[in-house]
A and B are shown apart, each in its own frame.
Chain A
C-alpha cells in the first residue's frame, strides 16, 4: 500500500511556483505554520495565497518573497497589532491584496467544490467590496422576485494545506475535536490537499472510531507528521498560541533591522522544525502553552 507520508520539505517541494494555495486555520488557531515555514525556506515564488482570516502565515510568506497576491478577508495579528510585513509590502506595491468578505470567499470556494457557475448570497450588498472584483462577485437580480443578490464565481485552488490532530499513512485524517470551521471548504475546493498532523496513528484507529474521521483518505494527497506543527498559533485543545512569540514579533518589527534579525534567527534560519522550536524556547515554551490532550 502506498504511503502518503512525506517530510515537511518533501511536501513543500510539491508546491510549484505560481500556484494558488489555501491555508487552513483561523487567525490564531490551527494554522499549518510548520508547513508555511518550509514553503518560506524553499522560497517558492509568485504564490496566490487564499487566507480567509489570517495573520502570521501571510507575514512569513511575504517576508520570504513567496507571494504575488493575497486573497483574504482580514490580515492582522489581532490584539497584538497590525501585520507589519504584509502592510509594508502592500503599501509599497510589492504584494497585491484581493480583498473579499469572509462569506463571499466561502461562497466562491463552495462554487468551486460543487462545480457550479456561482453561489448566491446577500453578503456584501451595498458595500464597495463587490466593485473590487466585479467578475467574481457579481451583483445580479433574481429573475422572478427581482431581489438583488451577489453571484460568487468558483475560486479554484491548486493546493489546500490544513493542520489536524491525527492521520494514518493512507490519508485518513481526524480533527479532534471536530473544529474544522472553514478548513473543510478549502479541502473540498482544492485539487490537492496536504495535511500536517500532530501525530500519525494506525489505520485501525480510524476503523475503531469511524464517526470521528474528518477527511477520508481519497480527499487527502499528502500527510506530514509535524508535532507542534501549528506553533506559534494554537492547536485546540492540545496547546494555545504563544503570546510571547507574537509580542516579540511585533516589537521587533517596529525597527526593520531588528525585524530582519528576528526573521533570520527565530523563523527562517533554523534548518528543521525541531530546531525552529528550539530557537523559540524549546521545551520550556511548549510546556508553557500546553493545555493537555483529549
Chain B
C-alpha cells in the first residue's frame, strides 16, 4: 500500500469507477463506502448518476456524511424527498433504479450475504441487525455491488449461517430460474476485487490491491478460490484528484472510517 492513500480511499475509488451516467442508485443503513463512491463518481466521471440518499432524498448533495446513512443529515440539496414507500418500491421493481450495494457479516462464493445471525437462528451465538431490505432489493435490482472491509475466513465462508440476501443464489442459472434480474457484478474487499465466473457464478480474483498476493487472498478466504492463471492485474490506484475530492468534498469528516474499525 502506498503512503499517498489509505485502504478506505482505495476501496471507495475502485467502487466509484464502476459507476456510470446510467447508474441509478440508492442506499440503505451503514453504507458509508458506497455512499462515498456514488458521490465521488458523480463529481468525477458520472455527473448524471442518480443517487437517492437513504432511498428518500433524490440528487442529495450533502456537505458531509453523518453517523447514519439513513438520516436527514444526508439529504441536503436534494431535488426531491420521496414522500412514501410507494415512490421507492415501484421504481426499485420496474428498474428505474438499477444499482444497489450491500454487505454482510458473512458472504459466500456466489455473493449471497448473511446479516441476520451467527449460529442457529433460534439460538444465535450472535444476533446481527437483520437483513433489512436486502432480501427484497437483491431480488429486484439487476446491478448488485458487494463490499467488505473485513476480508478474512470468518467473513468469506463456504456456507452461510443464514441467507439474508441473494447474490447468484446456488450459482449457475439459479437467479434466472427464480425470475430475478441481473446479479452481483463484483465484490470490493480490503484485499482485492472479486468478479464472478460467467458460468458457475463463483467468485474469482479480478485484481489484487497493491502489495497483496494471491496466496494472501486465498488464505484469507474461507471458500475455495481458483488459483489465478498468469499475472493477476493490480487494482488501479486512486488519482490525486479523486483523493482530493473524496477528502475535501465528499467525506471531509471521514464518516467512511466507521466501517474500518
Give A residues with C-beta under 8 Å from B: 26-29, 53, 72-76, 78-80, 82-83, 86-87, 90-91, 93, 97, 99, 101-104, 106, 121-129, 132, 147-148, 177-182, 184-185, 234, 236-237, 240-241, 243, 246
Q: Is the CB of B163 within 8 A of A27?
A: no
B134 — nearest CB in chain A belongs to which residue? Answer: A101
**Does B180 lie at the interface of the complex (its beta carbon under 8 Å from any beta carbon of A)?**
yes
Q: Which residues of A lie under 8 Å from residue B236 when comparing CB positions?
A: none
15 A-B residue pairs with CB within 8 Å? A27-B29, A78-B30, A78-B71, A80-B68, A102-B136, A103-B89, A103-B135, A104-B135, A122-B140, A126-B139, A127-B139, A127-B164, A128-B164, A129-B135, A179-B56
Q: Is B70 an interface residue (CB 8 A)?
A: yes
Report which B residues bind A (CB closer than 8 A): 29-30, 32, 56, 66-73, 75, 81-85, 89, 93, 112, 116, 121, 123-140, 162-166, 169, 174-175, 178-180, 255, 258
A234 lies within 8 A of B72 (CB): yes
Contacts of B258 in A (CB 8 A): 79
- Bound-complex Cα distance A27 to B67 (A): 12
Are the CB atoms of B71 and A234 closer together than 8 Å?
A: yes
Contact of A83 among B129, B131, B162, B163 (CB under 8 A): B129
* Contact indicator B164/A122 (Cβ below 8 Å): no
What is the CA–CA distance of A169 and B15 in the complex, to the nearest angstrom?
A: 52
A79 to B30, CA, bound (A): 6
Contact A53 B70 (CB under 8 A): yes
Q: Are B131 and A125 within 8 A (Cβ)?
A: no
Tell me which residues across on chain B come within 8 A of A240, comparing CB atoms.
Answer: 71-73
**How many A-B contacts are there with CB distance less than 8 Å?**
165
Among A72, A78, A86, A181, contact of B29 (Cβ-Cβ < 8 Å): A78
Q: Which residues of A contact B130 (CB under 8 A)?
A: 72-76, 97, 99
Q: Which residues of A contact B137 (CB under 8 A)?
A: 103
Interface centre among A26, A106, A126, A241 (most CB of B within 10 A): A126
A181 close to B175 (CB less than 8 A): no
Contacts of A124 in B (CB 8 A): 135-136, 139
> Taking A127-B165, A147-B179 as contacts, is the C-beta distance between A90 and B124 under 8 angstroms?
yes
Chain A residue at minimal CB-CB distance from B124? A91
* Interface of B, helix, strand, loop or mixed by DSSP: loop
List the B side residues contacting A180 at CB < 8 Å. 83-84
Known contacts A28-B70, A148-B178, A240-B71, A53 near B29 by CB under 8 Å: yes
In the assembled complex, the Cα of A29 lies from the Cα of B72 at a distance in Å of 8
User: Which residues in B have their C-beta under 8 angstroms from that of A182?
Assistant: 85
B196 to chain A, nearest CB (A): 16
Q: Which residues of A contact B126 (CB under 8 A)?
A: 87, 91
Report chain B residues within 8 Å CB of A28.
68, 70-71
Give the residues in chain A near B175, CB-CB below 8 Å.
126
Minimum CB–CB distance from B114 to chain A (whole Å) comes to 8
10 A-B pairs closest in CB distance: A101-B135, A103-B136, A74-B132, A76-B129, A123-B136, A79-B67, A102-B133, A78-B68, A126-B166, A90-B127
Closest A residue to B89 by beta carbon equals: A103
Task: Write the nearest CB–CB distance from B180 to chain A, whole angstroms.
Answer: 6
Q: Which B residues are in CB contact (< 8 Å) with A177? A: 81, 83
Closest to A97 in B: B127
With most chain A CB atoms within 10 A of its CB, the pick from B136, B140, B174, B175 is B136
Nearest opposing residue in chain B for A72, CB measure = B130
Chain A residues contacting B133 (CB-CB under 8 Å) are: 53, 73-74, 101-103
- Whether A101 touches B68, Cβ cut-off 8 Å, given contacts A122-B179, A122-B180, A129-B164, is no
B70 touches A127 (CB 8 A): no
Contacts of B123 in A (CB 8 A): 93
Tell me the nearest residue of chain A to B68, going by C-beta.
A78
